[in-house]
Chains A and B, each alone.
Chain A
Amino acid sequence: MIAEIGHFCLIAALFTAIAQCMIPLYGAANNKSDFMSFGDYAARVQFYLLIACFTALTYSFLSSDFSVKLAASHSHSLKPLIYKISGVWGNHEGSILLWMVMLGLYGFLFSVFSKRLPPVLRARTLAIQGLLGVGFISFILFTSNPFERIFPAPIDGNGLNPLLQDPGLAIHPPLLYMGYVGYSLAFSMAVAALISGKIDRDWARALKPWSLLSWSFLTLGIAMGSLWAYYELGWGGWWMWDPVENVSFMPWLIGTALLHSILVMERKQNLAHWTVLLAITAFSLSLVGTFVVRSGVLVSVHAFAVDPERGVYILALLLLSTGGALGLYALRSKTLVRRAEFDRLSREGGLVLNNLLLATATATVFLGTFYPLIMDAFTGDKISVGAPYFDLTFAPIMSVLIVFMGAAPLLKWQGDSLKTLKRFAIISLIGAVIIITFAAMFGNSVLGGLGLTLAAYLAYGAIKAFLKRRPIGQLARPAKYNLYAFFTAHLGMAVLTAGAVIMSVWADDTIGRIKPNETLNVAGYSFTLNSIKTGQNQNYGFRRGEVSVKKRGKLVDTLQTEQRFYPVRDMITTEAGFHFAPFSTVFAALGEGNPEDGYIVRANYHPAVTWIWLGALLMALAGFLSLLGLRTPSHKEVASS
């Protein structure tokens, strides 16, 4: 019964979304305020219906109602509570429903928090958001209905894929979707503005909080995904340039460009074309991502639910939404303000460069991800693009980006002279020589030195730009949130860069077959296998090794590492034992073995790997800080610098 209520709510949400799309559009075209404000009610009702629908599905999982096909294939009565809940979105149908709830949530939030915007813009934005809702709800209903029943119901479910049974993965999709579905609102606002033909400073200001919110969540989501891949997939890396990783990274890169181009629009009424296109592109890339994961056009380590029929549907959605938006853009392009004249050596000049570089970086990732597909489609050649391509193309572009990121914030708006940068450049060069020499001498790596130099240079640039606007004597006085946000974000990027460089240059590991009380040595650490125990847990059996890690005779940590066997899925997973520390993460992973020959143990030393996620966390924090600044505008602080 509960599942049928959920199903009914989904159908009701579809009709609400249709109304949310048509009535406000009519109102905006004919200037009828009652019709326009209908969008508000519809957006809220649609959201409530979707929440009811999601609750109904969650209930089916929690109550182990295996007559619901989805619960039967992805849940199990013996599963711990948290995985019964995360099982709801650990599959295609449920995750699309979660996607939909997020889409509804953004419509709801917009209807609540954008009261001060011009009614026509609001009405049209909500209408376009409703149109996206129509597309997605019908996608769920027609190709991926989560409420389908089976008869007879199985006695127990299939269980969730053990790889997905992890707290990190339980919260990863909601965070990620909060991010990339959020760009739907940027998209809707862009289309709404294109319909009106009015794209100005006020529009950019209205767009800002939503871009910030999406971007911050997307940053958190990607960082969480990388952390999960690091400790659960067990390959000891943090980024793999896998298609599924790439498709969430591309909206992030474009979203970053969007945030910076909004800054220019806010100040200078410039870059209207760019901003609109970036807003459309960010969401389109989110859709492409959904398309890739759901359609099976690219085979990936994480792709699941391969189904060409769903692919056709998402492709149609993509054609209608992006194609429609870009068509509208082509019609309006002439009438939009195009004011391209500005001094190249200025803050906005730097921001434009930043935009171009981020767009190029995105294109590089896009090409690397889709090149095999494109080649196959047009020439029939089958080729593969791997990590070496990305290392060769992406890293240099990001290095150039960092060079500009360090210097541009020091420049003034409008125009500046190279003199401003003279001292900064000299100190940076001296610092570079010192760091590279040290890295070459003690770390045996010039490339590592170069990478660290870039990170240090970026941090120095951020600190200098911060102090320029807030001299040391006045540090205690509160500054604008924007300034803190800028500082935190750029510092985060520096920390992340340093972590990535140190990790890729100086990580070390070793592998060996050892018996209890024997030791492996790596990077000055000794890993001793203390004991091996076997046992049984709620839904898996395990063999657990206890490994004590010492450095110069002093105990660092005692790690527990397990091999788990999941009988429901007939799968073995490895749980590595980690010791996360600020400068050096060590971990041990237990492999096959027996008491006679010993056990395979892998000992890893990963310096500064935590900095990667710390950096990402700082960036996300910066986004939220900036949002806080928007909620509480401080009138005392007039534009500094």
Chain B
Amino acid sequence: MRGLIPLIVFGVIAIALAIGLTNDPRRMEDMLIDQPFPEFSLPTLYEPETQHSKSDIQNQVSLINVFGSWCVTCIVEHPVLMNIAETETVRLIGHNWRDERDKAITWLARQGNPYDSIIFDPDSTLAISLGVTAAPETFITDKQGRIRYKHSGDITEKDWETVLKPLIESLQAE
């Protein structure tokens, strides 16, 4: 009987891996969809004294982008965000995750800053309630502050043109 224990443990792990495989990490996360954006109170990146809270993302359609200076894929995604910031009217909020303040600031100084404001979340307070598993991830909220879409991984030009932009436009018309 004792000999079976390793096999059983392995079986459980294998099942979890198998289920994990069926969950495409880039798939839309239905769980959060139509849920209100979680309550939070966190400092902004540039002014430690100013607090950001849920009320800041209401009244206007927002794109909340999780990033970190340590995240390589974020560098790839960044030019797309810069373009969005230049040409579009959506409010861009950065969610700086698991980072250090000065590292994030240098990183933005180097890459350019597309965000209208940035939530500083070094201890994953907000990230955990949002279920963030990796950076970059992007959330889109409507005027009532509900999450309407989640995008895992980097946003490509194509994602922007075919999915995100039409969605934002329809939300703005709501």
Chain A residues within CB distance 8 Å of chain B: 163, 233, 235-237, 240, 277, 280, 284, 288, 291, 295-302, 306, 308, 311-312, 315, 318-319, 322-323, 326-327, 329-334, 370, 372-374, 376-378, 380-384, 386-388, 509-511, 513, 563, 570-572, 574, 589, 591-592, 600, 602
Contact = CB atoms under 8 A, between A and B. Distances in A.
A433 B105 CA distance: 41
Nearest to A280: B6
A511 B69 CA distance: 14
Interface of B: 2-4, 6-7, 10-11, 13-21, 23-26, 29, 31-32, 69-73, 75-76, 79, 98, 102-103, 105-106, 109-112, 123-124, 127-128, 131-134, 152-153
Contacts of B3: 329-334
User: Taking each of A277, A326, A378, A511, which has the highest tally of chain B beta carbons within 10 Å of its own beta carbon?
Assistant: A326
A240 B6 contact: no
B110 A591 contact: yes
Given A301-B72, A331-B3, A377-B15, A308 B24 contact: yes
A326 B11 CA distance: 10
25 contacts: A163-B72, A297-B21, A298-B134, A299-B25, A301-B72, A315-B21, A329-B7, A330-B4, A331-B3, A332-B3, A333-B4, A373-B16, A374-B20, A377-B16, A377-B20, A382-B31, A384-B133, A386-B98, A386-B124, A510-B102, A570-B79, A572-B110, A589-B106, A592-B110, A600-B106
Given A233-B72, A301-B70, A323-B14, A574 B20 contact: no
A233 B70 contact: yes
B9 to A, nearest CB: 9
Contacts of A388: 123-124
Nearest to A162: B75
Contacts of A333: 2-4
A543 B71 CA distance: 23
Given A299-B133, A329-B6, A376-B23, A384 B14 contact: no
A528 B23 CA distance: 51
A633 B76 CA distance: 55
Given A299-B133, A301-B71, A376-B20, A235 B103 contact: yes
B10 A326 contact: yes
Contacts of B25: 296-299, 306
Nearest to A299: B134
B132 A384 contact: yes
Contacts of B98: 386-387
B149 to A, nearest CB: 15
Given A296-B24, A332-B3, 4 more contacts: A323-B10, A326-B6, A384-B124, A600-B109
Contacts of B131: 381-384
Contacts of B31: 380, 382
Contacts of B71: 301
User: Taking each of A288, A382, A589, which has the highest tally of chain B beta carbons within 10 Å of its own beta carbon?
Assistant: A382
A297 B105 contact: no
B110 A374 contact: no
B160 to A, nearest CB: 16
A319 B105 contact: no
B110 A600 contact: yes
A377 B23 contact: yes
Contacts of B132: 384
B110 A563 contact: yes
